C-alpha cells in the first residue's frame, strides 16, 4: 500500500497530480488498518499452514535420531545428535532401492498409458452429440462412486484366471480406462473449452479423429496433460491395496508394500521407518511442487472446470 502511494507518477499537470493525493488523504486513516489486517492475515495463514506442515518437518527430524537410543520424552530436536546413517541403513534393512525401482516402473507405465487413454476418451466424449455426451459424463461420475472394495475380489479372480497374479500387468490394468474416470473428465472439460469449430474445420480439411487429436487437441491441452501425468504417477506410486493383493514375490514389491514390511519387522524402531517414509514420499512431493510451480494459479484448473459445468447445466 505504502509503496504504491509513493510510486504515483510524478508527471502531469498540477490538477491531475492533486487529485490522487486528495483521494489518498481521504483514505489514509483507513489505509493503516488494512496494513495491520494484512499482517494479521499472514500470521493466521502461517499458523494454519504450520499446523499442516509441522508433522512432516518433525518426521524428518525424528528420522535422524540415532538407532538404539531411547525415544525422547520431551520436545527436544536432537538429544543424541544427528544420524544421517539411518538413510543408508534403511537400504540395507529392506530392499528399498529395488522397491523404489519397481514403483518407478509401475508408475511410469501406468501414467504413460493413462495419458493416452484418458485424452482419447476425453477428446471423443467432447465431440459426441449432447445426448450421448451427457450419458458418458454420468457414466464417468457413476464410476467414481463404485467403492474400490467392490472390485477387489472379482479382479483377483479375473487376474488369476488370466495368470496375471504377481505381474505388473495386474497393477497397471486400470490405465486402459484412464486409471480413474476423473482423469477422463479433466480432459473432457479441457476439450469442451476448445471451440468446436476448430475440430470441425480440421475435419473439413480431411483430418481424421486420430490426427485431429494428435495435432490440434493434444497441444492445446498441455497443462491438463501435465496435471494428469503427475496425478496418475502419484496414484500408482501411492497404490497400496493392489500390490498387497496381486503381488506375491517379495522381489516385485513396490515401495508402499515395502513400508508395510518395515513396519511389521520392528514395531518400535521409529527413526528407520520414518526415514523410509521420507524417502518414499519425496518423489510425490517433488512432483507436486514442480506441478505447482509450472501451473502457478493452482485453483485455475478447478475454476475452469466449474465454468464448464456451468455451461453444461445451461444447455440442459
Q: Between residue 100 and residue 139, which ones bind another protein under the rule CB under 8 A?
A: 117-118, 120-121, 123-130, 136, 139
**Both ends of the chain: CA-CA distance in Å?**
46
Q: Spell out the residues 6+ positions from residue 84 whose beta carbon is closer than 8 angstroms to its own.
A: 64
CA-based nearest residue to 194, from 244, 107, 256, 125: 125
Binding test (CB under 8 A) with another protein, winner from 99, 102, 107, 181 = 181
Write out the binding residues for another protein, residues 187-246 only, by CB under 8 A: 192, 195-197, 199-200, 203, 208-210, 213, 234, 237-238, 240-241, 245
303 touches another protein (CB under 8 A): yes
- Cα dist from 310 to 82, 123, 192, whole Å: 55, 19, 12
Q: Helix, strand, or coil here: 13? A: coil
The residue (of 222 and 292) whose beta carbon lies closer to another protein is 292
The residue (of 251 and 313) whose beta carbon lies closer to another protein is 313
Q: Helix, strand, or coil here: 76? A: coil
Binding test (CB under 8 A) with another protein, winner from 94, 227, 247, 281 = 281
| Nearest approach, Cβ of residue 21 and another protein (Å) | 24
303 Rama sector, left if φ>0, alpha if ψ -120 to 50, beta otherwise: alpha
The residue (of 18 and 144) whose beta carbon lies closer to another protein is 144
- Cα dist from 108 to 99, 113, 237, 252, whole Å: 14, 9, 9, 15
Q: How far apart are CA 141 and CA 185, in angstroms?
A: 9
- The 6-45 site mask, x for binding another protein (CB under 8 A), equals --------------------------------x--xx-xx
The residue (of 109 and 124) whose beta carbon lies closer to another protein is 124
The residue (of 10 and 47) whose beta carbon lies closer to another protein is 47
The residue (of 8 and 210) whose beta carbon lies closer to another protein is 210
Q: How far apart are CA 184 and CA 51, in angstroms?
A: 34
Binding test (CB under 8 A) with another protein, winner from 256, 272, 275, 308 = 256
| Burial class of 126 by CB neighbour count within 10 A (0 to 12, 13 to 18, 19+) | buried
| Nearest approach, Cβ of residue 6 and another protein (Å) | 18
Segment lying near another protein (by CB under 8 A), choices 18-26, 69-77, 82-90, 221-229: 69-77
Amino acid at each position: 500500500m505504502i509503496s504504491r502511494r509513493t510510486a504515483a507518477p510524478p508527471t502531469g499537470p498540477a490538477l491531475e497530480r492533486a487529485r490522487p493525493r486528495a483521494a489518498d488523504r481521504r483514505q489514509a486513516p483507513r489505509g493503516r488498518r488494512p496494513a495491520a489486517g494484512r499482517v494479521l492475515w499472514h500470521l493466521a495463514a502461517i499458523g494454519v499452514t504450520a499446523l499442516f506442515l509441522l508433522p512432516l518437518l518433525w518426521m524428518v527430524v525424528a528420522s535422524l535420531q540415532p538407532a538404539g537410543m531411547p525415544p525422547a520424552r520431551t520436545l527436544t530436536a536432537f538429544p543424541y545428535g544427528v544420524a544421517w546413517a539411518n538413510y543408508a541403513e534403511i537400504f540395507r534393512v529392506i530392499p528399498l532401492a529395488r522397491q523404489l525401482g519397481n514403483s518407478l516402473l509401475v508408475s511410469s507405465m501406468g501414467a504413460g498409458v493413462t495419458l493416452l487413454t484418458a485424452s482419447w476418451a476425453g477428446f471423443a466424449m467432447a465431440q459426441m452429440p449432447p445426448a450421448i455426451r451427457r450419458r458418458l459424463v454420468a457414466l464417468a461420475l457413476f464410476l467414481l462412486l463404485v467403492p474400490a472394495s467392490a472390485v477387489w475380489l472379482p479382479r483377483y479372480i479375473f487376474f488369476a484366471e488370466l495368470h496375471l497374479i504377481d505381474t505388473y500387468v495386474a497393477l497397471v490394468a486400470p490405465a486402459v480406462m484412464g486409471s480413474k474416470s476423473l482423469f477422463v473428465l479433466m480432459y473432457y472439460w479441457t476439450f469442451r473449452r476448445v471451440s468446436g469449430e476448430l475440430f470441425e474445420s480440421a475435419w473439413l480439411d480431411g483430418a481424421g479423429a486420430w490426427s485431429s487429436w494428435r495435432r490440434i487437441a493434444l497441444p492445446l491441452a498441455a497443462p491438463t496433460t501435465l496435471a494428469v501425468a503427475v496425478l496418475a504417477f502419484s496414484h500408482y506410486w501411492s497404490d497400496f491395496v493392489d500390490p498387497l493383493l496381486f503381488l506375491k514375490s517379495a522381489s516385485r514389491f513396490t515401495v508402499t508394500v515395502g513400508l508395510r514390511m518395515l513396519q511389521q519387522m520392528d514395531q518400535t524402531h521409529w527413526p528407520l521407518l520414518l526415514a523410509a517414509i521420507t524417502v518414499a514420499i519425496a518423489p510425490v512431493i517433488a512432483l507436486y511442487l514442480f506441478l505447482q510451480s509450472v501451473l502457478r494459479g493452482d485453483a485455475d484448473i478447478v475454476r475452469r472446470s466449474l465454468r464448464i459445468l456451468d455451461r453444461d447445466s445451461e444447455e440442459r
